[in-house]
Amino acid sequence: MAGMDEVGRLFNNNELIVAEVLQSAEAMKAAVRHLEQFMEKSDTAARGKIILATVKGDVHDIGKNLVEIILSNNGYNVVNLGIKVQPETLIEAIRKERPDMVGLSGLLVKSAQQMVITAQDFKSAGVTVPILVGGAALTKRFTDTKIAAEYTGPVFYAKDAMNGLDLANRWVDESQRPELLKKTEADRAAMVKIAEGMEKKPQGVADGRSRSNVRRDVPLPKAPDFDLHQIEEGPLREIFSFINPSMLYGKHLGLKGNLERLLAEKDERAEKLYAAVTAMQEEILAKRTLKAQGIYRYLPCRSRGEDLLIYDPADPTRLLETFTFPRQPAGERLCLSDYVRETDSGEIDSVAFFVVTLGRGVRALSQQWKEAGEYLRSHLLQAIAIEGAEGFAEWVHRKIRNDWGIPDPPETTIPEVLKNKYRGVRVSFGYPACPNMADQRKLFRLLDVTAKIDVELTDGDMMDPEASVSALVFHHPEAKYFRADT
Ligand code: B1M
């Protein structure tokens, strides 16, 4: 497997980008498949066995699948248990498979907390196999201070898939293992010390004012209606034009630099990637692989302190739902409720909610392509679906602004929209201004989501399928993104 080791080295040196790693893995897989018929069984023995899973409540597939592709093409026998995997299922699989390592993935902070619970369950079951953890919202600090603290065996944090491979390689190589353990333990002890110091620091001091200075007298736009608007099949080509290229090409495919500039400079790598993405999008459009489903609704509302009160459109005296948001402890002391007219104003304001998805069927098809060794296509489909869901959110948000009577100036371009150059703000539960993921349940009730479109909430309040976005839209001209915890 020296070939893929070389790929790993190049990748770590930033010489290869994700898309190229996947293509190399495809070539490698095809070559190995061909050579296997001529090889002795002992020649094909795996470097090690790794169980991989996305934790309970979490539907995140794309990151875990990248890890699977990288590991399996570097000689590991990977047992991928899929998404939303309960600790008991993992424990059963560990007993049956006797792996060298267990890999846990997850997208959200809640999933990082689920990793702690999983480690506790492992410990109670007497499991000590090393755990490798990774995911967008996970940090080394959380791993060292919260997950490792609950476990008897070693816990390794991987910042990306190649780092995960490097850690697995060092663990299975007995000559490197003692050094890896020593370093991990030393890093952990240092991290625990730093974390203790940070916990002692005051977290921000309230300055006596209870509310921000956000204006309370801006003229209110009138919601066009309070009906439930269902989008059964959104215009996919137009939605694709709202995909943020820096996310799709940069974050998911690993391209460094601005796509438009690189294409203008005729950069070969950018041109190839652009062609691959365009071809995949055309295939999706021709075969109708993705379906853009959405639901949105304006609702009457008012605010009271940190509460956002949602009323029944048929009877504005009847409270339908209350959302409570955190307020910044210092500084501007912003709270999302400040963007809405207060109860004592005598006026009724409006807010919009929506849920969009592009995810139906994506998991099954990307898995089929992955199993067939078509790694780049499998990854591209998932990446286009998840970034397409964000693009769809952008598209619906623009429609909402138009229908609310607060359209963007006619000269506004899509790149400007992607930089939030419009009136108001769109936030999603789980964002720093409204971190309570459990509020997803209230939003789902208000829009009757599950009955109308193919999206369900998991027991971790995540939306299944993965390529889904929920949001809350405020029209206030001063509304902006902020963190409520600083
Ligand atoms: Co959202 N999202 N998102 N999102 N998203 C985050 C994670 C968030 C930090 C953004 C933020 O608030 N600033 C926030 C989480 C905060 C929290 O938990 N409280 C967040 C939120 C809240 C949400 C929603 C809940 C918002 C909503 O709609 N209400 C929602 C959830 C979706 C759902 O329920 N189905 C949502 C949706 C989405 C999109 C669909 C639009 C999109 C795709 C998400 C996805 O990847 N599945 C998206 C994106 C793109 C992001 C950010 C910007 C990037 C995530 C990413 O890089 N994905 C992210 C903020 C950020 O990180 N800057 C954010 C690509 C994926 C390949 O990366 O999974 O990290 P990742 O995997 C990497 C490494 O982490 C590592 O290797 C992989 C490749 O190198 N790795 C491992 C992962 N697992 C590993 C396991 C290993 C080893 C390495 O060993 C076992």
Mutate which of 21, 67, 79, 107 for ligand 1 pocket (most atoms within 8 A of beta carbon): 107
pLDDT along the chain (486 residues), means of 10: 49 67 85 73 76 97 94 94 98 98 96 98 98 96 96 96 96 97 93 78 54 94 98 98 97 94 96 96 98 98 97 94 96 96 96 98 96 95 98 98 98 97 98 97 97 95 98 98 91
Residue 106 alpha carbon to ligand 1 centre in Å: 8
In terms of phi and psi (left: phi > 0; alpha: psi -120 to 50; beta: otherwise), the region of 126 is: left
- Please report the pLDDT score of residue 316 as a whole number: 86
Query: Quick check: 354 and 294 in contact, CB under 8 A?
Result: yes
pLDDT given for residue 210 in this prediction: 76
Residue 266, in any domain of the structure: no
Is there a domain that residue 36 lies in?
Answer: no
Cis peptide before 465 (omega within 30 of 0): yes
Show the tokens assigned to 334.
């912003």
Residue nearest (by alpha carbon) to ligand 1 atom 25: 430
With tokens 């809405």, the residue in question is 340
CA of 136 to the centre of ligand 1 (A): 5
Burial class (CB in 10 A: 0-12, 13-18, 19+), 324: middle
Count of domains for the chain = 2
456 and 351: one domain? yes
pLDDT value for 198 = 74
Give the Å distance between the CA of 46 and the centre of ligand 1.
Answer: 31
At 8 the pLDDT is 52
Ligand 1: does its nearest atom lie under 6 Å from the Cβ of 64? yes
Largest CA distance in the chain: 82
Looking at the structure, do residues 460 and 343 belong to the same domain, yes or no?
yes
Q: What is the DSSP letter of 424?
A: S
147: its two tokens? 């997950």
Q: Is 70 in the pocket of ligand 1 (CB under 6 A)?
A: no
**CATH at residue 86:** 3.40.50.280
Q: What is the CA(137)–ligand 1 centre distance, in A?
A: 7
Residues 343 and 460 in one domain: yes
* CA 475 to ligand 1 centroid distance, Å: 26
Residues 6 or more apart from 367 whose CB is under 8 A from it?
378
Contact assessment for residue 468 and residue 355, using Cβ atoms and an 8 Å cutoff: yes
Q: What is the pLDDT of residue 486?
A: 75
What residue spans of 99-143 are helical by DSSP H? Answer: 109-124, 140-142
Q: What does the pLDDT read at residue 199?
A: 64
Structure confidence at residue 372 (pLDDT): 94
Same structural domain, 467 and 329: yes
CA of 63 to the centre of ligand 1 (A): 8
Residue 176 lies in a domain: yes
Beta partners for 294? 231, 356
Backbone phi, psi, residue 321, to 5° = -160, 150
Q: State whether the beta carbon of 27 lies less than 6 angstroms from ligand 1.
A: no
**Does ligand 1 come within 6 angstroms of the Cβ of 254?**
no
425: containing domain: 290-474
